[in-house]
Amino acid sequence: MRRKRSAADQQIADLLVTAKKSLDLSVAFLSRMDGTTQHLEVVETSVPVLVQEGAKVHQDTSFCQAILDGRLPAVIPDVEESPLAMSLPAARIPRIRSYVSTPVHLSDGSLYGTFCAFGFRSDKELGKRDEALMKVLASAAAVIVEPEVRDQERRTEIESRLEPVVGDGGPVVLLQPIVDLASGTRVGAEALSRFPAGWGRTPDVVFAEAHSVGMGHALELQALERAAEHLDRVGGYVAMNVSPATVLTPGCGALLHRLPLDRVVLELTEHDEVEDYDVLLATLAPFRAAGLRLAIDDVGAGFSSLRHIVVTSPDVIKLDRSIAAGVATDRVLATLVGSLVTFAHGSGARVVAEGVETAEDATALRALGVDYGQGWHFGRPGPPEALAVPAPRPPVEARPAEVLAPVAALSR
Ligand code: C2E
Ligand code: CA
Ligand code: CA
C-alpha cells in the first residue's frame, strides 16, 4: 500500500515523472541516505511490483553509494559492462541494467540523498545531457525537501530537549507572591514553570514548542501537577497557568477533580485562540461551581482579551505587565488601568496587576483601584519555602490626589 503523499512529495513526484519520461527509463526515485540506509522516499515506476515507494535498501551496497563514492560513473548506460555494478544486489533484483544518479544537496551543502532513474534494459543513448537534466531536477527536489528536513530537525531537537524533563515528571515550578495592595498581605501565588537555564527560552516559548511537537498537553499537565503539589506547602491560593486547549483534555479534568478547588485559580491566556467558548465554559462549569476561580491573563497585552473577559465572566483579571509597569508616571496607562478596573469591578471580577517592580507603581495601582499586585517589588518567583513564612510588607501608602490628577485631567 502506498502511503498518502504530502504536497511536497507530490511535487517531487512530478519531477520524477519528468525525469522518467525524458530519459525514457522505467523507474525514477528520490532517496534519502541516513548513513546506513537508503530510503526510497518518492518513487515513480512503470513496474510497481518490483520497486516500491517507502522501500529501504542497504546504503553501502547501493548503486547510488557507489556513484557517490566515485566507484561508478553517474551515468551507466549498460550495467553488464561493469563487473562492480553487476556485483551489486540491485543488478540481480530488480535486475537494473541502466542507471543515472545525481546527489541531492541541501542549502548548507549537506547530502540529503540522491535523485535517480534506471531501466531494466541497457540504454546506450544515456549520456551527459541526461545527467545535466537530472542535476537540474535534483536541485529542484532539494529546494522542495529542505523545509521538511529543517522541520524534522527542529522537532527532533525539541523532543530530545523535552524528553528528559518529561521523564523527570515535568518542569520545576516556582511560586511568585500575589499581594493585597491595600494591606500588603500575600493572598496567593502564581505557579511559574522553570526549564533549564541553558535553553535560553522563557516558559511560554517552551510550552509552544512542546505543543508544536505534540508534547504540549503532557508538559502542561505535569506543570499543573507540580503546581498542585505546592498547595500543601503554602497558604493562600495557587494560580496555575493553562492553555485553553489543555483544559479540554481528560487529564486536566482528572487532575482538577483531586484538588481543593477553592484554593485554585486557573489562569487562561489568550495567546492561543479559543476554538469554542461554549465547550470551554461547559468543561469548566462544574469545577467553578465547586469553587475553582478563573483568571484571564495578560489583559491589555494586545490580544483580544476583552472578548475573553466578556464571554467567560472571570473571577480575576490580570493586567499585563505592559500596562501596569510605569503606571505611576504615564497618564495614558493610568487611564487605561482605571477603565479596566471599573470594567472588571462592574462585572464582579477582582484585578491583579502584574510586573509591579516599584513602590511608586504599587501605590499608583492601589489608588486606581487595583486589588492585588504581583511583581519583583513584592517578590520574585521562588521555591515554596520562600513563601511559607508570610512576610507582608507594610501597606502601600496611597496618594490618590497625585495619581488621579492626570486621569481627571484626561477625562475633562
Ligand atoms: P505570565 O503568566 O504572564 O507570567 C508572568 C511573567 O512575568 C513570568 O515570566 C514572571 O517571571 C514575570 N514577572 C513577574 N514579575 C515580574 C516583574 O516585576 N518584572 C518583570 N519584568 N517580569 C516579571 P515567566 O516565568 O518567564 O513566564 C512567562 C510565561 O510563560 C507566563 O507568563 C506564562 O504565560 C507562561 N508559563 C509559565 N509557566 C507556565 C506553566 O506552568 N504552564 C503554562 N501553560 N504556561 C506557563
Ligand atoms: Ca499567568
Ligand atoms: Ca500574565
Average pLDDT (22-35) is 97
The pLDDT score that the predictor gives to residue 411 is: 35
Please tell me the distance between residue 270's alpha carbon and the centre of ligand 3 in angstroms. 10
The pLDDT score that the predictor gives to residue 388 is: 54
Mean pLDDT across the chain, nearest whole number?
A: 92
The confidence band for 311, taking pLDDT boundaries of 50, 70 and 90, is confident
Q: Choose the residue to mutate in 174, 238, 247, 354 for probing ligand 1, maximizing ligand atoms within 8 Å of C-beta.
A: 354
Ligand nearest to the CA of 242: 1
User: 194 CB contacts (<8 Å, ≥6 apart)?
Assistant: 171, 172, 173, 174, 203, 381
The pLDDT score that the predictor gives to residue 3 is: 67
User: For the chain, what percent of residues have pLDDT higher than 70?
Assistant: 92
Residue 116 in this model has a pLDDT that exceeds 90: yes
Nearest ligand 1 atom to the CA of 269 is 34
Please tell me the distance between residue 192's alpha carbon and the centre of ligand 1 in angstroms. 6
Dump the DSSP string for 183-204.
Answer: T--EEEEEEEEE--GGG---HH
User: For the chain, what percent of residues have pLDDT higher than 90?
Assistant: 86
Question: Cα separation of 213 and 324, whole Å?
Answer: 34
Residue 132 in this model has a pLDDT that exceeds 50: yes
Ligand nearest to the CA of 374: 1
- In 212-259, at which residue ranges do the beta strands (DSSP E only) sit? 237-242
Closest C-alpha to ligand 1, atom 5: 354
Q: Which residues pair with 317 in a beta bridge?
A: 296, 351
Closest C-alpha to ligand 1, atom 32: 204
Nearest ligand 1 atom to the CA of 202 is 26
Please tell me the distance between residue 28's alpha carbon and the centre of ligand 2 in angstroms. 54
Give the cell for residue 119. Answer: 531501466
Please tell me the distance between residue 353's alpha carbon and the centre of ligand 3 in angstroms. 9
Please tell me the distance between residue 317's alpha carbon and the centre of ligand 3 in angstroms. 10
Nearest ligand 1 atom to the CA of 246 is 44
Q: How many helices (H) and strands (E) does the chain have?
A: 16, 14
Q: Which residues line ligand 1 (CB under 6 A)?
A: 176, 192-193, 202-204, 207, 220, 223, 241-243, 267, 269, 297-298, 321, 354-357, 375-376, 381
Ligand nearest to the CA of 246: 1
Q: Higher-confidence residue: 51 or 141?
A: 141
The pLDDT score that the predictor gives to residue 406 is: 36
Question: Cα separation of 82 and 379, whole Å?
Answer: 77
The pLDDT score that the predictor gives to residue 48 is: 86
Average pLDDT (183-194) is 97
How many CB atoms within 10 Å of residue 55? 14
The pLDDT score that the predictor gives to residue 265 is: 98
Residue 186 in this model has a pLDDT that exceeds 80: yes
Distances from the Cα of 181 to the Cαs of 22, 173, 309, 362, 365, in angstroms? 78, 25, 23, 7, 8
Closest C-alpha to ligand 1, atom 12: 355
Question: Cα separation of 411 and 298, whole Å?
Answer: 25
3-class SS of residue 28: strand
Residue 60 in this model has a pLDDT that exceeds 60: yes
Residue 83 in this model has a pLDDT that exceeds 80: yes
Please tell me the distance between residue 320's alpha carbon and the centre of ligand 2 in angstroms. 9
The confidence band for 401, taking pLDDT boundaries of 50, 70 and 90, is very low
Range scoring the smallest mean pLDDT among 178-182, 213-217, 350-354, 389-393: 389-393
Q: Choose the residue to mutate in 172, 179, 241, 357 for probing ligand 1, maximizing ligand atoms within 8 Å of C-beta.
A: 241
The confidence band for 404, taking pLDDT boundaries of 50, 70 and 90, is very low
Amino acid present at 313: S
Average pLDDT (167-171) is 97
* pTM (two decimals): 0.85
Where helices occur in 264-383 by DSSP H, the ranges are: 277-289, 305-312, 321-324, 331-346, 359-367
Domains of the chain: 7-152 (3.30.450.40), 169-386 (3.20.20.450)
Residue 302 in this model has a pLDDT that exceeds 80: no
> Mind listing the pLDDT tens digit for each residue in 333-368?
999 999 999 999 999 999 999 999 999 999 999 999
The confidence band for 405, taking pLDDT boundaries of 50, 70 and 90, is very low
Nearest ligand 1 atom to the CA of 354 is 15
The pLDDT score that the predictor gives to residue 307 is: 77
Ligand nearest to the CA of 225: 1
Any idea what DSSP says for residue 393? Answer: P
The pLDDT score that the predictor gives to residue 301 is: 84
The pLDDT score that the predictor gives to residue 306 is: 76
